[in-house]
Structure 1
Amino acid sequence: MGVQSTVASLWRYPVKSCRGESLERVVVEPWGVAQDRRWMVVDPAGTMVTARELNRLLVVHPTLTDDGLRLTAPGAPAVDVPVPDPAGQVPIAIWSSRLTAADAGDGAAAWLTEVLGRDVRLVHLDDPRRRPTSPTYSEPDDRVSLADGYPLLLTTAASAEAVSVAAGALVPMHRYRPNLVVEGTQAWAEDSWRRFRIGDVTFRVVKGCARCVMTTMEPDHDAGSVARGPEPTRTLARLRRFGKGVWFGVNVIPDHPLPAGATIAVGDPVEVLEAVEPGTRPIGS
């Protein structure tokens, strides 16, 4: 009998592109992990700002509170940001999505502008039902919060180890910014999965993930700095170049209907329900 695949770790990112948090248990909602990427930094025109161009976002540490959010960063006093009134909607842009979110106010904007050295504001997506996923790889009623494109990103420990071995140095999993990490698989097994179940939640694998420069950034949360290097992009270009991109991890969507309050936890078994031939290229590559 083969080794049982299980959930190795779970991650949530309260503010898009900022520091994430590792959790033992999460609630899964139709648009992803509860409270994952419901806040986002934007420029004065409402367009998303990410760590791709503003690396220092990675050292901003958001913590969820009963009333909203607490933001901390090295060298700056903490600031508490209440959940804004959803009546105060402003237009925002994230990739090809055009929707509205609630502006978090001048206090949060001033704090982030000082810490980041750029004129920015903070917004909160009060209702993720306003943002559909990409229709090319999903169903008409699929929704997503402020993640790049899909509700959750899944990676596997074996695939991350394969990259580190090929690179000759450890590339830590947090660089890939997953929500769900699975252990007990072969490297790249996730490329062939199409549906899998954890507890009461069934997930669809809808698209592989083409990786960007953010995987090459290593934040020093004590110093408040971000170092950049060639890995894992250099190694992925040798191992995982398909078309114009390099690929690591898969995007997944919870199946409908989703049980209310459905949770998954570290250590839960992962049951693959549908898969294609191993060695298949990631969907979309």
Structure 2
Amino acid sequence: MPDLLLQDSYRTGEPLLRVTALWHYPIKSTLGEAVPRLDLDERGAVGDRLYAIADAAGKLGSGKTTERFTRIDNLLALSAKIKTGTVQVVFPDGREINIGSDDLGDELSGFLGQPVTLKREQAIPHHDDSAVHLLLSSELDGLQTLLPDAVIDPRRFRANMLLQTPAGMTGGDLVDTVLALGSVRLQVTHKTERCRMVTLAQEDFGYDPRVLRTIVQEFDVDFGIYAKVLKPGSVQVGDAVDMAPGPRTDFRGNALGI
């Protein structure tokens, strides 16, 4: 499918893919903010998930429990944003507390009902998986068709970028392609495996277990794509996306010698 789409793009002179939304998440597993521009380096979006909320054992708060992460409920009731060059934690009552405040640890612990601290990333990235996470409008539309009365809001999926894509395009169609958008070059490495985070309530939409159940049944649990940064730069909402074949990669984006 990618080769056919490339041919169609060359014939019409119009980009088939375009950036329609961008987000970053200064604190892992909390709400982030929509932004008009993202700067990217080899790590991913600059400042994205640079901080995480850690429990008393040092495990990072998340919507799931793994070797590195621990489930902490109500993280999505908090949000984080960049204001005057620093990260602010926003509580549901509207209070904003700078991450440098001596009061932040106590406020977070009281809100979450357990002792927690804010932890800056060290040697191991805070990302669940890869550097950059992208959504496809065509997959969102397909899921909405399957769940017509559900709120299929892109914010459920906590991506960095939403791409406007042709009807019927799937994440698998873009794996192993190179995307040129703004001054950035990304290599799509693999599809995004989903977990219960996509079912959780956020701000103005509620908990809906059907979302994950349908993704498992109809999309084989994958929804969206991951990419690594080949060329750092910046991307803005509205940028056209050029697509070209890239080297075949393994699951983690390493080139295969075949």
1:91-133 CA deviation, whole Å, 9 max, x = no partner? xxxxxxxxxxxxxx863221110111122111112x6xx23xx
1: CA distance, partners of 2:144 / 2:236: 26
Report the counterpart of residue 138 of structure 1 in structure 2.
none
Shift in CA distance, 114/187, structure 1 to aligned 2, threshold 3 Å: farther
Report the counterpart of residue 160 of structure 2 in structure 1.
179
2: CA distance, partners of 1:227 / 1:200: 37
Shift in CA distance, 196/220, structure 1 to aligned 2, threshold 3 Å: closer
1:158-203 CA deviation, whole Å, 9 max, x = no partner? 1111001111233111101110110032334331222211122211
The gaps in structure 2 that reach 5 residues or longer are 1-11, 65-70, 253-258
Report the counterpart of residue 238 of structure 1 in structure 2.
217
The yes-or-no answer on 1:196 pairing with 2:179 is: yes
Aligned-residue offset at 1:79? 1.9
The yes-or-no answer on 1:159 pairing with 2:159 is: no
| Percent identity of paired positions between Structure 1 and Structure 2 | 21
Pairwise CA RMSD of aligned residues? 2.3
Residue number among 55, 68, 81 corresponding to 1:63 in the alignment: 81
Shift in CA distance, 59/166, structure 1 to aligned 2, threshold 3 Å: same
Structure 2 residue identity aligned to 1:179? N
1:1-285 to structure 2, matched below 5 A, reads 1=12, 4-52=16-64, 53-66=71-84, 68-75=86-93, 77-82=95-100, 107-125=103-121, 130-131=123-124, 145-169=125-149, 170-193=151-174, 194=176, 195-220=178-203, 227-241=206-220, 246-255=221-230, 258-259=231-232, 262-274=233-245
Structure 2 residue identity aligned to 1:115? F
Structure 2 residue identity aligned to 1:19? L
Shift in CA distance, 213/62, structure 1 to aligned 2, threshold 3 Å: same
Aligned-residue offset at 1:25? 0.8
Is this contact kept in 2: 1:171–1:231, CA < 8 A? no
The gaps in structure 1 that reach 5 residues or longer are 83-104, 132-144, 277-281
1:58-78 CA deviation, whole Å, 9 max, x = no partner? 111212234632212124743
Q: How many residues align?
A: 229
